[in-house]
Amino acid sequence: MNNYKLTIQYDGGRYKGWQRLGDSDNTIQGKIENVLTELAGEKIEIIGSSRTDAGVHALAQTANFKMRKNATEEEVMQYLNRYLPNDISVIDVTLVQDRFHARYNAKDKNYVYKIWNEQYPHPFMRKYSMHVEDKLDIEKMREASNYFLGKHDFTSYSNAKSKKKSMVREIYSLEIHENEGFIEITVRGNGFLYNMVRKIVGTLIEVGLGVKEAAAIPSIIDSKERIQTGRMADAEGLFLKKVGF
């Protein structure tokens, strides 16, 4: 039995997220598994390192799968890219040790959120960024970002659908950069709850607009009340950037 590690890029705009759904074939995991099942001649299940939401993109999602058929890394990569939709690409295939597990072996996850912060819409990036028309105060957003660093119970920044036993996560870094109208928020942590990154970005946007004060964030976290976080940022601006092992 061979264990293959995949690195995958995808435009999540027309999919219902990464995770396979019983009532829909329109997921990233489902599309890849269908192709691999044809290649292997047996039912294949893949394990993703991060279950990205509907509409969210990936620059480097990691997954692994096992199959009995002997196929080279190049054969697997070529087959996948030949038959997958053109908004999903496999950019690397590596044979790994049997015990490698894309989810359990992940040490950190990196996401980047893109905001287009000009009065006019961006015609070419409208599917890959959130448009915020009013000017954001970057320095206030950076001040606010510091309150998210470290280990916290992020119940306030989860979704009601979250079924994790523990809501405690640790954020290692949160950086905000501005370049030619785009604001990029990069966050790295040991893991993220359902909708957590988009809710954090939503709070940072409200701080940048003067709707919330940066100093209010600790009380929002401590409250464990989801209603306190305000608007959740749109899905199209979020990218899974990298998974560390």
Cα distance between residue 227 and residue 50, in whole Å: 25
pLDDT averaged over the chain? 95
The residue with tokens 């997220």 is: 17
Tokens of 57: 């993109």
pTM: 0.94
2-96 and 108-244: identical CATH topology: yes
Strand pairing of 238-244 and 182-189? unpaired
d(CA 3, CA 96): 6
pLDDT of 21 reads 83
> Does position 126 have pLDDT exceeding 80, yes or no?
yes
Note the CATH architecture for domain 108-244.
2-Layer Sandwich (3.30)
Q: Say if residue 164's pLDDT is above 90.
A: no
pLDDT in tens, 49-62: 999 999 999 999 99
Mean pLDDT across 132-158: 97
What stretch of H or E contains 94?
strand 88-96
Span 4-51, pLDDT tens digits: 999 999 999 999 999 988 777 799 999 999 999 999 999 999 999 999
Q: Does domain 2-96 match CATH 3.30.70.580? A: yes
* 64-89 pLDDT tens trace: 999 999 999 999 999 999 999 999 99
Q: Where are the domains of the chain?
A: 2-96, 108-244
- Active-site residue numbers? 53
Place of tokens 């993109």: 57
